[in-house]
Amino acid sequence: MSRRLSRRAVLAGGLGAFVAAAGGTSAWALDRYVFDHVQVANASALTDLADVAGTGTATASGYTSDTATVTIESVDTGTVRYFVADVTVSDATIVRAAFANDQFGENIIANPSEIAAGAGAVLAINGDYYGFRDTGIVIRNGVAFRDRGARQGLAIHTDGSARLYDETATNADALLADGVWHTLSFGPGLVENGAVLDGIDAVEIDTNVGNHSVQGNQPRTGIGLVDANHWLFVVVDGRSDSSAGLTMSGFAQVFADRGATVAYNLDGGGSSTMIFNGDLVNDPLGRGQERGTSDILYVAG
């Protein structure tokens, strides 16, 4: 059941006094990009999620249950390595989202494997790193947490469909009324109506401090929909001797070649991570280590 969040739990205390005492640009940067700003604690309690744990069987390359089927394929072209999780679920609400520390807010991070373990995920990928910015429409598991439209987003509906949309042309209430289960706010959109979108190699996402460009060959994470409740979760390794990464159009082509009707780019670089059955599937930046992020998308199991 979708519910609009009407009250926020805000973390108060000594942070404001510290920032005021420090003064200047450095204090602002620490407050904006480093210190936790918890707006909602125990975020998962805001929605009713059915318990599907213990109903499936996992193997080295997949998972099968009465609610989800997952098959993971590793592709190595000699210059780039990527992983495709082909996911079919019985109901759209089996594809879920979780926040680091089960808290919504800015700068709250944890390793994807830790978030996945806390959520009981069979398969997980990093999300859109909503916590690095204060804009975008953030709806997760049928609950609206943020309503500040700024860019092209992806809306995932409870009927198992998905679409690209303009955040600035709508709002969270309207999306919830339309049956939206999740929104993702990063981009760009990669595929629409089965075709790779033009101009995506030149798209600029954000220019926040410390961000790598999304252009060129990069590690990447994305999600695509083949048809109702049939998903592709794709993670590309990059910036390493074993994998150069993909351009945005090359990444989009991976989805199109596998029949995606719509696909969307998520946070990439060192954040690009796939977790299956508790284990790290890919090799972020060739270091074999995860990087903390604010959220994951996962398949419940």
Kindly write down the DSSP assignment for every residue of 147-165, as one continuous string.
EE--SEEEEEETTS-EEEE
Residue 173 exposed, middle or buried by CB count within 10 Å (0-12, 13-18, 19+): exposed
Stretch (H or E) spanning 235: strand 230-236
pLDDT (average), residues 190-194: 98
Domain around 165: 3-300
Strands 3-4 and 143-148: parallel
Residue 247 exposed, middle or buried by CB count within 10 Å (0-12, 13-18, 19+): middle
pLDDT bin (cut points 50, 70, 90) of residue 19 is very low
* pLDDT tens string 23-32: 566 765 666 5
pLDDT (average), residues 158-170: 98
Structure tokens at 54: 């213990």
Using CA atoms, how far apart are residues 101 and 249, in angstroms rounded to an integer? 34
pLDDT at residue number 16 = 41
pLDDT at residue number 204 = 81
Amino acid identity at 74: S
Q: Which of 26-35, 200-209, 274-283, 286-295 has the lowest mean pLDDT?
A: 26-35
Q: Are 225 and 180 in contact (CB under 8 A)?
A: no
Give the rounded distance of the alpha carbon of 210 from its chain centre. Answer: 19
* pLDDT tens string 105-135: 999 999 999 999 999 999 999 999 999 999 9
pLDDT (average), residues 84-102: 98
pLDDT (average), residues 268-282: 97
Residue in the structure block whose two tokens are 């494997």: 113
pLDDT bin (cut points 50, 70, 90) of residue 176 is very high
For 22, phi and psi rounded to 5 degrees?
A: -70, -45
pLDDT at residue 7 is higher than 90: no
Q: Are 142 and 176 in contact (CB under 8 A)?
A: yes
Q: What percent of the chain has pLDDT over 90?
A: 79
pLDDT bin (cut points 50, 70, 90) of residue 49 is confident
Using CA atoms, how far apart are residues 232 and 224, in angstroms rounded to an integer? 5
What's the chain's average pLDDT? 89
pLDDT (average), residues 30-39: 69
Q: What is the dihedral of CA 189, 1, 130, 110, to 10 degrees?
A: -120
Could you report how far apart the first and last alpha carbons of the chain are, in Å? 20
For 214, phi and psi rounded to 5 degrees?
A: -85, 0
Half-sphere exposure of 192 (CA within 13 A, CB side): 13
For 82, phi and psi rounded to 5 degrees?
A: -145, 165
pLDDT at residue number 54 = 61
In the chain, the number of structural domains is 1
pTM across the whole model: 0.89
With a CB cutoff of 8 Å and minimum separation 6, the contacts of 45 are none
pLDDT at residue 207 is higher than 70: no
pLDDT at residue number 51 = 82
| Strand, helix or coil for residue 89 | strand
